[in-house]
Amino acid sequence: MIDTLTLARSAPTAESGERPFVKMHGLRNHFVIFDRREDRRAFTRSDIVKICDPQVGVGGDQVLTIEQPSTEGKAAGAPAAMRIFNIDGREVSACGNATRCVAHLLMEESGADALVLETRGGMLKCRRTGAMEVSVELGPIGWNWRDFPLSHEVDMADLPVESGPLRHGMGLWIGNPHVVFFVDDLSAVDLARDAAPIHDDPLFPEGVNVGVAELVDASTIQLAVWERPGIATQACGTGACVAAFAARRKGLTTSERFTVHLPAGQLQIEIHGTTAVMSGPVGYCCRGFVVAETVYDFD
């Protein structure tokens, strides 16, 4: 079992362009992880697209890079920073499952049971909750339409977009943009048919994560998510957090603790004000090397 970042920090081979990776998953949400704290070489968008494509690369939902913390991160006690790149090569600010995987690697490396991880979405508090389980504190959860961004101002509690059974969606920001729809029967929803048009609506010029939730009881949610840039994901950590938050904000429940069931498994979510604490498993897939065709620093 891989329990350190030793491979990911192996000496670079500049002549061949080889660079080592560790592949992990959080509920089958797959990440190809590179350590750039010492090897500062990076990737173009086309490199990232190729790495994420299982037909020609490693295959994954995102590429993650571990970086040296900024001055602000060091002041907050963060041992490292994380950057997140979607399968289209575009950088995003937040991913709960990615955060748990990188936090696990860093805690295994240092022997710590808790740490702060710097991300574009803020300084995230993470802690070990089991041998292969990690929790992360995410938030604050907000609903400012400019954060998404949207093409124009709207009522974030009742967005003026609908598709099939998806109506009266709530827009929420948790470092990345989400719209949450509650339905009576999740099994009757076809994400590609019903959620994809929401993602592509002109209201969301940069796309949006579309969550479709069924409140089973006061503290149990069934959830499916159509993620940016347009895929049905096996699990979405931030989506689980905003679904639980939305259930409370809509007045559907007063519970503060939720079990959120996703296609690949379940996450535990606690809501404290505008903050969510997400707990769940992490796992290793494989490790190896990739060869990027170009070397370009995106800093």
Gap between the Cα atoms of 139 and 124, Å rounded: 9
236 annotated active-site: yes
User: Is the peptide bond between 149 and the residue preceding it cis, with omega within 30 degrees of 0?
Assistant: yes
Gap between the Cα atoms of 273 and 256, Å rounded: 9
Gap between the Cα atoms of 79 and 131, Å rounded: 21
95 annotated active-site: yes
Q: Specify burial of residue 104 (Cβ count, 10 A radius: 0-12, 13-18, 19+).
A: buried
Q: Specify burial of residue 188 (Cβ count, 10 A radius: 0-12, 13-18, 19+).
A: exposed
Of residues 52, 101, 236, 241, which has the active-site annotation?
236
Strands 275-281 and 122-130 turn out to be unpaired
Of residues 52, 95, 101, 126, which has the active-site annotation?
95
Looking at 60-162, list the stretches that DSSP marks H as alpha helix, in order from N- to C-terminal side: 71-75, 96-110
Q: Which residues are catalytic?
A: 95, 236
